[in-house]
Amino acid sequence: MKFRTDVIVSTALAGALASLSLPAMAQDKTVNVLDWGGAYGQSHQVAYNAPFQEKTGTRVVVTDADNPATPIKAMVEAGNVTADVASVEYADAVRMCDEGLLEEIDASILAPGAGGEAAADDFIDGALTDCFVGTDVYSMVLAYDDTRFPDAKPATPADFFDLEKFPGKRTMRKGAKFNLELALLADGVPAADIYSTLETPEGVDRAFAKLDTIKADVIWWEAGAQPPQLLADGEVSMAYAFNGRIFDAAMGEKKPFKIIWDGQIYEMEGWVMPKGAPNREAALDYIAFSTAPEQLAKAAEHISYGPPRASSAGLVGNIAGTDQPMGPHLPTSPENLAKGFASNLDFWVDHDGELSERFNAWLAG
C-alpha cells in the first residue's frame, strides 16, 4: 500500500487554516483513511477530504488498498491499528462487526437530512448498521469496447458468455461474489430466483458449470482500476466491473466503453472504524461530515455511484466539469434500477467463506 501524500495538508496551508480562527490544536489532528484509490478515491478527495481539511484543519492521510477490509482485519488481530476509518463493502462490514473487529458508530452523530429530518430516517434501508455508515450505492456491470463490435452489440449477461458471437477475452473480479450471480443470470435463472438457487448445492454447481464455459478466456482482476485498463489496452473485449470505473474511463478519458445495465447487481459501500482506531474523535467527525447529504451528492457528481440518502438525490447536479446531468448514469436512477437487482447482503454474510473457498479451488483446478 502507498500513502497518498497529495491529500496531506501542507505546512503552508495548515498555517493559513490556523489563521482562520480554527481551534488552537486543530491543525495537529489527523485522521487516517483506508480507501480504494483510483477514480473512487479521487471523488472522496474532492467531496470529503479537501473540504473536511479546510473546515476543521484536521489532516486527512489516505492509504489505498485493493480491498480495505483485508488490512483492517490484519491490523486489529495483530493489535497494531493505524487506520481510523475505512471504506468497505456492506457484507464485509457486517461480518467484521460480528467478529468484534470494528467500533460501533452511533447514528445520532450523523448530520440531519437536507430537510432537517433525522439521519436514521434519511438513509435508505440497510445503509446504517451498528458499525457501518453507507456512502454510496455502486453496481457491478457488464461493459465492452464499442470498437470491437462494429455490428451487433452485446446487451445481456448471456452475451458476455457467448464467445462465438462476441469474441475476445473477458475480465472478471477474482472471487465468488457477483460472478456466481452473473453466471446464473446468463444461464437463464430469473433475477428473483438467483439467491434461492444459490442456496442449493445444485444451484452452486450450475453457476460453476456456466463459469467453466469461459474460464479459459478470463483475465481475473483484483483492483478496480484493472478492468478499464485491460479494455483500453485491448487485452479484453468485455469486462465485468464497477460501474464507476467504467464511467470514469468513458467520460474522463474518452474511452469507447459502453455499459450494459441489464443484470446490474447493486450494493453499498461505506465507512467503518477499526477496533482501537487511534484517532477516534477525528474519525467520528470525518464520518459525520462526509456522510452529510451535500457531501454525498458532491461525490456522486465525480463518480457515478448513487448516494444512499433520500435527501441527497435531489442535490446531485451535473457531471463534474460538464453541463450533462449525472442522474442517468447512476445505478439508482429509476431506469437503471429496473434492469438490475440488489445483492443479497445477508446471503453473502452467511455464505461468503464457503463459496470463496470453493471458487479458489475451482480457479486453481
Residue 76: burial class (beta carbons within 10 Å; 0-12, 13-18, 19+): buried
Distance of CA 37 to the CA centre of its chain: 11
Q: Is the dihedral of CA 273, 94, 64, 43 positive or negative?
A: negative
188 in helix, strand or coil? coil
**Which of 90, 113, 64 has its CA nearest to residue 310?**
113
Mean pLDDT, consecutive 10-residue stretches, the chain (365 aa), reads 33 33 54 94 97 98 96 97 97 94 97 96 94 97 97 97 98 97 98 97 98 98 95 98 94 95 95 98 98 98 95 94 94 90 90 96 96
- Contact (Cβ atoms closer than 8 angstroms) between residue 316 and residue 297: yes
Say yes or no: 324 and 352 in one domain: no
Residues 165 and 190 in one domain: yes
Helix (H, G, I), strand (E, B) or coil at 93: helix
Residue the block writes with cell 452452486: 204
pLDDT of residue 219: 98
Q: Both 86 and 16 in a single domain?
A: yes
Domain identity same for 189 and 129 = no
Give the type of residue at 165: K
Instruction: Please check whether residues 220 and 286 belong to one and the same domain.
Output: no
Q: Which domain holds residue 275?
A: 3-137+268-334
Closest by CA position to 285, among listed 43, 29, 3, 36: 29
Q: How far apart are CA 115 and CA 310, in angstroms?
A: 10
Q: How many CB atoms lie within 10 A of CB 166?
A: 19
Three cell numbers written together for 55:
473546515
CA distance 84 to 131: 13
Give the pLDDT of residue 252.
Answer: 87
Question: β-strand 238-242 against 218-221: which pairing, if any?
Answer: unpaired
Please tell me whether residues 360 and 238 are part of one structural domain.
Answer: yes
21 and 146 share one domain: no
Is 356 found in the same domain as 208?
A: yes
For residues 298 and 318, give the distance between their C-alpha atoms in angstroms, rounded to a whole number. 10
pTM above 0.75, yes or no: yes
How many other CB atoms sit within 10 Å of the CB of residue 191?
A: 16
From CA 221, how far away is CA 223, in angstroms rounded? 6
DSSP assignments along 198-265, one per residue: HTSHHHHHHHHHHHHTTGGGEEEE-STTHHHHHHHTTS-SEEEEEHHHHHHHHHHS---EEEEEEEEE
Question: What is the crossing angle of helices 345-364 and 179-186, to 10°?
Answer: 90
How many domains are there within the chain? 2
Q: Are 119 and 111 in contact (CB under 8 A)?
A: yes
Instruction: Look up the CATH number of the domain holding residue 295.
Output: 3.40.190.10
Instruction: Say whether both 146 and 225 belong to one domain.
Output: yes
Are 357 and 287 part of one and the same domain? no
Instruction: Please tell me whether residues 8 and 82 are part of one structural domain.
Output: yes
164 with 47, same domain? no
Cα 305-257-343 angle, rounded to 5 deg: 40
Q: Which residue matches cell numbers 458476455?
A: 160
The residues, ordered by sequence, that sit 6+ positions from 349 with a Cβ below 8 Å of its Cβ are: 91, 94, 95, 98
